[in-house]
């Protein structure tokens, strides 16, 4: 497949770069802007709680490149009601109609609350939002999110900030094969190779923040992630051969069939 034509479509928009970047942990807005520009990303997420349109000093939104699709997130929401209110405030503040739903009731592991996420998705999709819910990978829940009108599902790779990589692979693989909307791995990817692995598995995109923001050279790390994501996608499209740990020299169980 021609890589140039391999476009991801969400909410009626074309997305070329399948690396999405989160913005919460950078040391400076100027650096964040350079990362977004030089890695040529198309999608970025910003916590609405950090946005200050009346800021005396700096407003994070001024540092988001014009070409980027802005996905405000509901970080800080503890239930569906709070997520819905944050999303509405976001749209009223001129941040567009995309929203990444984060509902977290657990400050120890920062794991999402799937049932509250579903409720918020139902409400916001009906109100015309392009809804991207952050979730724990669960097939039944993913199906319900599709029915509720989610534009994509965002299962975690491992807990936020843990840098433990694609630990939920077995479950995400099932989502990829069963769910007809894009599956975007969000959180926990500490290395470009783990992002590549997600893409090889057939995920539509990945979202990374911590591993890029706290790298010694965030610009170079973002480019590396971008390349890894592109390489993984290319491999997926090329048709990944099935792997096996054992050599298969003969057929001990069915060999007799050929010996006749």
* Interface residue list for other proteins (CB under 8 A): 24-29, 48-52, 55-57, 76, 78, 82, 85-86, 89, 104-108, 110, 160-163, 209-210, 213-214
Q: Is 108 a catalytic residue?
A: no
User: 78 vs 144, which CB is nearer to other proteins?
Assistant: 78
Shortest spacing between CB 44 and other proteins, in angstroms: 15
Q: Which of 33, 100, 119, 169 is catalytic?
A: 100
User: 9 vs 85, which CB is nearer to other proteins?
Assistant: 85
Q: Is the separation of the CB atoms in 195 and 210 below 8 Å?
A: no
Please give the Cα distance from 28 to 136 (Å, whole number): 30
DSSP string, 135-201: E---HHHHHHHHHHT-S-BEE-SSSTT----STTHHHHHHHHHH-SS-BEEES---SHHHHHHHHHT
Question: CB atoms < 10 A from the CB of 44, how many?
Answer: 20
User: 30 vs 147, which CB is nearer to other proteins?
Assistant: 30
Question: CB atoms < 10 A from the CB of 91, how many?
Answer: 18
Tokens 């399948």 belong to 18
CA atoms within 13 A on the CB side of 97: 13
The three-class DSSP label of residue 14 is strand
User: 129 vs 236, which CB is nearer to other proteins?
Assistant: 129
Catalytic residues: 100
């Amino acid at each position: 497949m021609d890589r140039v034509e391999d476009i991801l479509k969400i909410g009626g928009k074309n997305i070329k770069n399948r690396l999405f970047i989160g913005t919460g942990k950078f040391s400076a807005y100027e650096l964040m802007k350079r990362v977004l520009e030089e890695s040529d990303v198309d999608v970025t997420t910003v916590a609405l709680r950090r946005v200050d349109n009346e800021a005396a000093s700096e407003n994070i939104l001024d540092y988001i490149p014009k070409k980027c699709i802005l996905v405000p997130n509901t970080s800080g929401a503890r239930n569906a009601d709070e997520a819905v209110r944050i999303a509405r405030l976001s749209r009223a503040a001129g941040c567009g109609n995309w929203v990444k739903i984060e509902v977290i009731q657990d400050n120890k592991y920062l794991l999402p609350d799937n049932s509250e996420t579903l409720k918020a998705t139902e409400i916001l999709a009906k109100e015309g939002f392009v809804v991207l819910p952050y979730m724990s990978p669960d097939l039944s829940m993913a199906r319900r999110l599709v029915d509720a009108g989610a534009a994509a599902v965002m299962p975690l790779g491992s807990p936020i900030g843990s840098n433990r990589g694609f630990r939920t692979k077995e479950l995400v693989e099932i989502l990829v094969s069963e769910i007809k909307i894009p599956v975007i791995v969000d959180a926990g990817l500490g290395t470009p190779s783990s992002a590549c692995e997600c893409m090889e598995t057939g995920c539509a995109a990945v979202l990374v923040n911590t591993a890029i923001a706290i790298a010694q050279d965030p610009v170079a790390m973002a480019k590396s992630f971008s390349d890894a994501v592109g390489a993984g996608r290319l491999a997926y499209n090329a048709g990944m051969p099935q792997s096996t740990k054992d050599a298969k020299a003969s057929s001990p169980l069915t060999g007799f069939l050929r010996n006749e």
